[in-house]
A and B are shown apart, each in its own frame.
Chain A
Amino acid sequence: MSGHRVVGKPRRRVDGRAKVTGQTRFADDLQFPRMLHCKLLRSPHPHARILNVDTTRAERAPGVHLVLTGKDFPVTFGILPVSMDEEPICREKVRMAGDPVAAVIAATEEEAAAACELIDVEYEPLKTIADPLEALATDEPRIHDHGDHGNVHKKIALEFGDVDASLAGADRVFDDTFFYEGNTHLALEQHAAVALLDPDGRLTLHSSTQVPHYVHRQVARALELPAHKLRVVAAPNGGGFGGKTDVFNHEVVVAKAAMLTGRPVRICLTREEVFLCHRGRHPVLMRLRTGVKHDGTIVAMDLETLLDGGAYGSYGVASTFYTGQLQTVTYHVPRYRFRGCRTFTNKPPCGPKRGHGTPQPRFGQEVQLDKIAVALGLDPAGLRLQQLEKPGTLTANYMRLGTIALRQCIEKVVEGSGWHDKWQKLRDGRGLGLACSSYLCGAGLPIYWNDLPHSGVQLKLDRSGLVTLFCGATEVGQGSDDVLAGIVAEVLGVAPQEIKLLTGDTDLTPVDLGSYSSRVTLMAGNAAIQAAERAKAIVAAGVSAKLGIPEDRLVFAEGRVFDAEDPEQGLSFQDAVIVAEGKHGIIGTTGSYRPAVSAAKYKGGGVGPSPSYSYSASVVEVEVDRTSGWIEVKKVWIAHDIGIALNPVLARGQVEGSVYMALGEALMEESAMRRLPARLSSALVHKFPSMLEYKSPTTMEMPPVETYLVEEPEPNGPFGAKEVGQGPLLPIMPALANAIFDAVGVRIDEIPITPDKVFKALREQAQGRTPRVGPASFPAIDWGEISIVPPPWEGGDGRAINEKPRKSKVVESGVRLAPDSPGANVSDGVKR
């Protein structure tokens, strides 16, 4: 970008030094005098009533200070107001193996663990539900007493235009089922939290969380504390990927324990416990029917999804919507029907992982497009290019799109990979696949309804010349601190390293909703620009008065404020601040950001809208071994429509990191569960909750990656920037599946794509049967009444024509955070 001095230039991230010296203090690195240690006793049963918990022996064990049980925690919590179904410690029943039934707080972790084993718990096992089909078939026992019915948590049915009519009129209808296995974030850092009373008796909770604000609300709720009596500090996260965007029982437990003991109380989960916290990718079964014309133009799409939600609500309602809402934002889809269903099962709860709910249907959509191209004899790249959605469009389901540089993205990867010379032209066993995708730059609505800003930034400038930035955003590795510092540095003309950051602290920083849904760059970034521009105006006024240079001629750059026409005339930044402070008084400014109101007025329309969408295109080249089905990724080309790259070093890192994580999901990662023979055992356990057996790619698996950052500034983004943390993950899985087809002619309609599946499909091929591995069918689900929302081009206004008028909104006052009651207000606009 012309004229920018910081933005767009590759540079060391502001927190780089701390990270390479081991000085970054993660939650488990915090040590306090007299710190006690907490261990949770977890249920071995997947579903059972708790008949009795006897803690007498544990209380007498060496080193033990406190033993807590469900009785100590009468109030539930949950991330979404519609599913406040989690308990700090289970009271009446456990819903998965790993649910906490007691907590021990002791002088050492070793003593706490030993005392846990002295707690006697009596259980009465209940029938377990291991997958969505069982959940659909089993009304009783219910895992929860909320949700749509039986063990169905949430059903969604939305129709934008008469899809059946369009499908009937289509030249061809492609009907495919896909399955996407669950997988998990596997951040390298295990969740940790420390709670303590500060000198004036207020409770402080340090935690590895991506969402200090939501933790603040929910811990306050669960402990029945006025919110201002609790301070939540997000430690830098050792990786999050969505795994730390929920509120966890252990956070509530240590907070309570610190209140009761008056001492700092720490917990750090073991790796196995992290697998149990989960909130990872939902396993999703999908059926996608797409009607096209002979030239491949899409006339209508009909998507059904079935999600395995696990034992709790978590973000599940939003996740379910996300399995449908972004199918319309890449290619023009004139009519669209989406029906989604989430079920409860006795397994670790699923939630948001990088791409939240969208990678699964994106996989289906992009693989199906490949099938359409092959069937119609079209070039997959051309098929996509001919029907890209247009910038500024309001889609069939009322998503307002911003800039779209997907065309350039496709062109980049097509050219870079030599697509036209290689696709369908390589020798047997080698192949190329292409896929595209899109993702949000921040959810348009917060998870609880309010009229407040989504992000706030405060700046303090003082006579030392130091700029201090306060923001609730949380550094999870993605570089949010660097984004904020870079933006403010650009506006004020100082070096990013000269900006002191204070982030993710609910006492000291203005609210930012958190590091999820790729919202920080856009939302906190815009808030930072506003605060910085306001500070700049104050400084400019001071300098102008002092030097007699008109304010609009003042340039802020290189640590100086000077006259554009006579650069010699000016002051150092510090002197400029001193002058301004003299004129204005102490300098502090604020900035805030709240996205524009969405056009999607129908129930559920709150999920999907975003101020902007990023786009990605990828080509993957593979070699496939016909003798074994083994797959080797030779190279990945990926282009990402980033608006502009605020710091290209970090942007590239986000793209490559996404590709890495995507390849792991595509080829080997699985959150598989294991049920033992029913006649012998009712166990239902995670198959391999360890870093060794949950296969995460090592250096040896990483192929070369060619990254293209496509820059077309997005007016809604700070300096034109869009997200880059999640979007680039999405096209990889389908591109890989498509490449395997190109290499050996088999379709794996299932993630992960493992060598045994490829081998099986190759066998089918050799025997003249359909060379495919994937789910056979999608179950018949009673979807109930469908909301009918005519698309904009059919005269719709964003409302369902058959929906009952809504009750008025519950709006929260910004000062006191009232405890949420289930269903009282809104999650992601779901219930309003």
Chain B
Amino acid sequence: MMRAGRFRYVVAKSAAEAAQALADGGGKAMLLAGGTDLVPNMKRRQQMPEIVVSLRQVAELREVAMNGETAIGAGVTLADVVRDPRLRQHGALFRAVAQVATPLIRNTATLGGNLCLDTRCNYYDQNYEWRRAIDFCKKAPGPEAVAIDAVADDGDGTCWVAPSSARCWAVSSTDSAPALIALGARVTLLSSRDGAREIPLEALFHDDGMHYMTKRADEVLTRVRVPHDGVRSTYWKLRRRGAFDFPALGVAAAVRFGTAGVVEHARVVLGAVASKPLLLPESSLLVGRALTDDAIAEFVDATARWAKPLDNTDFLMTWRKQVSKLFLGGVLRELRGDDVQTFPLLARRAATLRNPVW
């Protein structure tokens, strides 16, 4: 039986209490939401917080409010996102969340936990014994793996994915983040030191496999706000199986169309190809013109450089790169209204809406 190490367990009754507990923990405390990322990581000894701060009783984090915008508490479970009919209008969010892990996991996993999900790598998401057999790597440099942000320094260990590299290339594997970034979401971070601050979601992430978030260790993510700005959005996920698997590629797009199909606003985001979700700057090239085949082809060519998958997830990296082009074009075709049933098999599967119970 894989077992978590020992820790001290603290139950927070409010977000402020949780923030205080993190501050008191001085980098040795971690938040526990659904635990579907943290608990396996503790069992594999990738993360070994000395203090675990439970968010279970923080009711304020579990609220969903709609007034001119959508506000979702960080503690809302993914299953509740899936079942809430009001959230369906955010197509990309629904599709992303409905494809996270498995129904059983979505019943406990939270949106906040999904956004803060640890980055992933085939050399890192392994048992302690396995990692010892490869003499560990940068991201978890030794027996004393610790809580996020408290990782000692960047010098130790080899990155087995890119041995000559000074950084860690672990992959941002959250499904909801690319979707929410495309939707223009903003997140609120609360700390006992500075109170609340709100940032655009894309600013939450760093392109670094170890320090993958700009959020400080003492900050609690409390809320996600999504504007109601008339966009149409979608999310395509590449994975080996129809359940369980993390994205080997995720592409989210949100587009607002004006008259005659002219694009007024567009955000396209690539997930699972770097240590953070990539909001493609070329999205702006789409604005002011219709999504013609030519416009889409130009966009795909212009953005191809972003997808630089490495050999640390499922699937051959060169093939993932190929699929990223198919998906980048595909999401735009879907949004301009093409009949997805006419798409080639893989695109058709990616575009077909699934409708899980949880």
Please classify how large the interface on chain B is, using the bins under 10, 10 to 19, 20 to 34, 35 or more: 35 or more
- Chain A contacts of B133 at CB under 8 A? 44-45, 97, 683, 685
- Chain B contacts of A754 at CB under 8 A? 315-316
- Chain B contacts of A677 at CB under 8 A? 163
Binds A, one of B7-15, B51-59, B339-347: B339-347
A160 to nearest B CB, angstroms?
Answer: 42
A346 to nearest B CB, angstroms?
Answer: 12
- Chain B contacts of A131 at CB under 8 A? none
Partner of A699, one of B2, B127, B243: B243
> Knowing A44-B132, A628-B323, A688-B122 touch, does A270 contact B1 (C-beta < 8 A)?
yes
Q: Tell me whether B127 and A272 are in contact (CB under 8 A).
A: yes
Report the separation of the CA atoms of residues A755 and B249 in the bound assembly, to the nearest whole angstrom: 15
Q: Tell me whether B242 and A685 are in contact (CB under 8 A).
A: no
- Chain B contacts of A42 at CB under 8 A? 129
Q: Tell me whether B130 and A624 are in contact (CB under 8 A).
A: no
A240 to nearest B CB, angstroms?
Answer: 21
Is B216 an interface position by the 8 A CB rule? no
The B contact surface, by secondary structure, is loop
Is B314 an interface position by the 8 A CB rule? yes
- Chain A contacts of B242 at CB under 8 A? 698-701
Q: Tell me whether B243 and A698 are in contact (CB under 8 A).
A: yes
Is A693 an interface position by the 8 A CB rule? yes
Question: What is the 8 Å Cβ interface bit string for chain B, positions 45-84, against chain A (1 contact, 0 not)?
Answer: 0000000000000000000000000000000000000000
Is A584 an interface position by the 8 A CB rule? no
Q: Tell me whether B129 and A628 are in contact (CB under 8 A).
A: no
- Chain B contacts of A685 at CB under 8 A? 130, 133-134
B245 to nearest A CB, angstroms?
Answer: 7
A798 to nearest B CB, angstroms?
Answer: 48
Q: Tell me whether A700 and B126 are in contact (CB under 8 A).
A: no
> Knowing A700-B241, A700-B243 touch, does A625 contact B345 (C-beta < 8 A)?
yes
Question: What is the 8 Å Cβ interface bit string for chain B, positions 90-134, against chain A (1 contact, 0 not)?
Answer: 000000000000000000000000000000001001110110111
> Knowing A44-B133, A97-B133, A756-B316 touch, does A628 contact B346 (C-beta < 8 A)?
yes
Report the separation of the CA atoms of residues A268 and B130 in the bound assembly, to the nearest whole angstrom: 18
- Chain B contacts of A109 at CB under 8 A? 1, 3
> Knowing A625-B345, A683-B135 touch, does A272 contact B241 (C-beta < 8 A)?
no
A668 to nearest B CB, angstroms?
Answer: 6
Q: Tell me whether A627 and B130 are in contact (CB under 8 A).
A: no
Partner of A668, one of B125, B240, B347, B349: B240
> Knowing A44-B129, A756-B316 touch, does A681 contact B322 (C-beta < 8 A)?
no
Question: What is the 8 Å Cβ interface bit string for chain A, positions 88-126, against chain B (1 contact, 0 not)?
Answer: 000000000100000000000110010001000000000
Report the separation of the CA atoms of residues A307 and B319 in the bound assembly, to the nearest whole angstrom: 29
Is B158 an interface position by the 8 A CB rule? yes
Report the separation of the CA atoms of residues A683 and B136 in the bound assembly, to the nearest whole angstrom: 11
Q: Tell me whether B241 and A701 are in contact (CB under 8 A).
A: yes
Partner of A626, one of B132, B245, B344: B344
- Chain B contacts of A756 at CB under 8 A? 315-316, 318-319
Partner of B244, one of A113, A268, A627, A698: A698
Please classify how large the interface on chain A is, using the bins under 10, 10 to 19, 20 to 34, 35 or more: 35 or more
- Chain B contacts of A697 at CB under 8 A? 241
Report the separation of the CA atoms of residues A668 and B129 in the bound assembly, to the nearest whole angstrom: 25
Report the separation of the CA atoms of residues A159 and B2 in the bound assembly, to the nearest whole angstrom: 51
Report the separation of the CA atoms of residues A106 and B326 in the bound assembly, to the nearest whole angstrom: 55
Is A20 an interface position by the 8 A CB rule? no
Q: Tell me whether B129 and A676 are in contact (CB under 8 A).
A: no
Is B160 an interface position by the 8 A CB rule? yes
- Chain B contacts of A272 at CB under 8 A? 126-127, 129-130
Question: What is the 8 Å Cβ interface bit string for chain A, positions 262-277, against chain B (1 contact, 0 not)?
Answer: 0000001011100000
B108 to nearest A CB, angstroms?
Answer: 17
User: Nearest A residue to B345 by beta-carbon distance?
Assistant: A625
User: Nearest A residue to B320 by beta-carbon distance?
Assistant: A756
- Chain B contacts of A624 at CB under 8 A? 345
Is A723 an interface position by the 8 A CB rule? no
Is A657 an interface position by the 8 A CB rule? no
- Chain A contacts of B319 at CB under 8 A? 628-629, 755-756, 759
Question: What is the 8 Å Cβ interface bit string for chain A, positions 420-455, against chain B (1 contact, 0 not)?
Answer: 000000000100000000000000000000000000
Q: Tell me whether A628 and B245 are in contact (CB under 8 A).
A: no
Q: Tell me whether A687 and B122 are in contact (CB under 8 A).
A: yes
Report the separation of the CA atoms of residues A756 and B240 in the bound assembly, to the nearest whole angstrom: 12
Partner of B346, one of A45, A117, A625: A625
Question: What is the 8 Å Cβ interface bit string for chain A, positions 808-828, against chain B (1 contact, 0 not)?
Answer: 000000000000000000000
> Knowing A270-B2, A756-B315, A756-B316 touch, does A681 contact B244 (C-beta < 8 A)?
no
- Chain B contacts of A695 at CB under 8 A? 240-241, 245, 314
| Most chain B CB within a 10 A radius of its CB, from A45, A755, A759 | A755
Q: Tell me whether A683 and B134 are in contact (CB under 8 A).
A: yes
Partner of B1, one of A44, A268, A429, A683: A268
Question: What is the 8 Å Cβ interface bit string for chain A, positions 248-273, against chain B (1 contact, 0 not)?
Answer: 00000000000000000000101110
A491 to nearest B CB, angstroms?
Answer: 44
Q: Tell me whether A680 and B163 are in contact (CB under 8 A).
A: yes
- Chain A contacts of B125 at CB under 8 A? 690, 692-693
- Chain A contacts of B163 at CB under 8 A? 677, 680
- Chain A contacts of B3 at CB under 8 A? 109-110, 113
> Knowing A109-B1, A270-B2, A756-B318 touch, does A692 contact B345 (C-beta < 8 A)?
no
> Knowing A270-B127, A272-B127, A681-B135 touch, does A429 contact B345 (C-beta < 8 A)?
yes
Q: Tell me whether A692 and B344 are in contact (CB under 8 A).
A: no
A763 to nearest B CB, angstroms?
Answer: 10
Q: Tell me whether A693 and B122 are in contact (CB under 8 A).
A: yes
Is A630 an interface position by the 8 A CB rule? yes
Partner of B322, one of A44, A113, A759: A759
Report the separation of the CA atoms of residues A272 and B44 in the bound assembly, to the nearest whole angstrom: 11
- Chain B contacts of A113 at CB under 8 A? 3
Q: Tell me whether B158 and A680 are in contact (CB under 8 A).
A: yes
Is A720 an interface position by the 8 A CB rule? no
Question: What is the 8 Å Cβ interface bit string for chain B, positions 233-244, against chain A (1 contact, 0 not)?
Answer: 000000011111
- Chain A contacts of B316 at CB under 8 A? 754, 756
Q: Tell me whether B344 and A628 are in contact (CB under 8 A).
A: yes
User: Nearest B residue to A700 by beta-carbon distance?
Assistant: B242
Partner of A676, one of B2, B127, B134, B315: B134
Is A689 an interface position by the 8 A CB rule? yes
Is A162 an interface position by the 8 A CB rule? no
Q: List 6 A-B contacts (CB under 8 A).
A: A680-B158, A681-B135, A685-B134, A692-B246, A699-B243, A755-B315
* Interchain residue pairs A-B with the least CB separation, the first 6: A700-B242, A625-B345, A756-B319, A44-B133, A630-B346, A756-B316
A117-B143, A625-B344, A628-B344 known; 16 other A-B pairs, CB under 8 Å? Answer: A44-B132, A268-B1, A270-B2, A271-B2, A272-B126, A429-B345, A625-B346, A628-B322, A630-B345, A680-B158, A688-B122, A695-B240, A695-B314, A698-B243, A756-B316, A759-B319
Footprint of A on B, CB under 8 Å? 1-3, 122, 125-127, 129-130, 132-135, 143, 158, 160, 163, 240-246, 314-316, 318-319, 322-323, 326, 344-347, 349
